[in-house]
A and B are shown apart, each in its own frame.
Chain A
Amino acid sequence: MIGVGKMKLYSNVLDRPLSKGKQEVSLSAFAFLFSEMVQYNQTQVDNIAELERRLEDAGYAVGARVLELLCHREKGNRRETRLLGILSFVHSTVWKVLFGKVADSLEKGTEHEDEYMISEKELLVNRFISIPKDMGTFNCGAFVAGIVRGVLDNAGFPAVVTAHFVPVEGQQRPRTTILIKFAEEVLRREARLG
């Protein structure tokens, strides 16, 4: 049809064609939006743990949708069943789509079998955020931890995901590590699959 506007009226949002995912907005638009989100949540809670939890919950919703979108668009609806598969999906594909680059590193925890860490020198969401001293170890990366938890949970790999600052020698700003601790059942299943 000639002259049809970009967003045609479909009766059902699911009938609309899926975009290629190449559209962009400015980083500052996202940074402003994220800062408003953190500020709004600060008014709704009394303590830092609650604030982190709310940011994580917001991220969880984003993660669930990102998984569906990417599985359909990038992987042709193939489902990951192995632990390393889903971890590398998060570390490469999800990070590349959301933040424009693959995550800096993916490591297996040395102390516990069920722990994995994705590290990033500077998380995109933390670029314009400074934490006052009285907020201690609060990390807005909780939002990203929520995204990772959303992706893993909806892919069938329940886990507890948290974000931590790790001071690095020679660098003024600490590195951020997303710590993923998988549930028992995931490890048992992984062992069974051999």
Chain B
Amino acid sequence: MPPVAPRSGDAIFASVERVNAELFTLTYGAIVRQLLTDLEEVEEVNKQLDQMGYNIGIRLIDEFLAKSNVARCVDFKETAEVIAKVGLKMFLGVTATVTNWDTEGTTCSLVLEDNPLVDFVELPDNCQGLYYCNILSGVIRGALEMVSMKTEVTWIRDMLRGDDAFEMQVKLLKQVPEEYPYKDDE
């Protein structure tokens, strides 16, 4: 059977079931508010959002691989492009641009102009340390970990803090080769 060509982000997004982005935005806002009330410390909330994102990411990657038919990425550069153009489009309906590659090709920035998580949101003065979209960094970290890449994702620019775009820095720490679960000679 000839290999199926990978589908573009737009095509997949058009074929999946969609919901109103505002429901998504408001639900996310309710989650962040709940966390702030429960945990009170902004740092704790950041960590919890990242953890929640990680939990989502490790499951989301299965759906991504099933629906998008992408071939195994040759290098990290391709991985970043696929996340920005196919992955984000498929789930959030927006694309990102990949910029700022370092010389070794292990660190890059994903720049989001449009982010459905932050519609209607303003950070109050007492929450200035909050990375409101930290769930996204967790999702990317979790998803990449399931395809054998250990990464570190941090926020460089955040529009809620006054910058002009959302910029995430994705740094590849190491490629973990997949462990064969059974020993052959047993």
The chain A residues found within 8 Å of chain B, CB to CB, are: 5-7, 9, 12-13, 19, 21, 23-30, 32-34, 36-37, 39-41, 44, 54, 57-59, 61-62, 65-66, 69, 97-100, 124
Contacts and interface: CB of A to CB of B under 8 A. Distances in A.
A5 B164 contact: yes
A41 B38 CA distance: 10
Given A26-B91, A98-B20, A36 B113 contact: no
A54 to B, nearest CB: 7
Interface stretch (B70-78, B118-126, B173-181): B118-126
A51 to B, nearest CB: 12
A9 B23 contact: no
B34 interface: yes
Contacts of A41: 34
A8 B24 CA distance: 22
A13 B121 contact: yes
Contact of B20 (A6, A61, A97): A97
Contact of A30 (B23, B29, B52): B23
A99 B17 CA distance: 11
B116 A62 contact: no
A26 B18 contact: yes
B185 interface: no
A173 B59 CA distance: 25
11 contacts: A5-B113, A5-B164, A5-B165, A9-B162, A21-B22, A26-B90, A28-B63, A29-B92, A40-B35, A58-B27, A98-B22
Interface string B115-154: 1100111100000000000010000000000000000000
Given A7-B114, A25-B116, A28-B91, A33 B28 contact: yes
A26 B116 CA distance: 11
A26 to B, nearest CB: 5
Given A9-B164, A32-B59, A39-B55, A26 B93 contact: yes
B82 interface: no
A40 B19 contact: no
A25 B21 contact: yes
Q: Tell me the dominant secondary structure on chain B's binding face.
A: helix
Given A39-B55, A62-B26, A28 B34 contact: no
A100 to B, nearest CB: 7
A69 B120 CA distance: 10
A5 B24 CA distance: 22
A25 B92 contact: yes
Contacts of B115: 7
A58 B56 CA distance: 19
B116 A37 contact: no
A145 to B, nearest CB: 14
B30 interface: yes
Given A9-B159, A30-B19, A58-B34, 5 more contacts: A6-B113, A28-B63, A58-B27, A58-B30, A98-B20
Residue of A33, A57, A61 most packed against chain B (CB within 10 A): A33
B90 to A, nearest CB: 6
Nearest to B92: A25
A7 B120 CA distance: 11
A124 B164 contact: no
Give the top 8 A-B pairs by smallest Cβ distance, nearest first: A24-B18, A13-B122, A23-B21, A58-B30, A27-B17, A29-B91, A62-B26, A32-B56
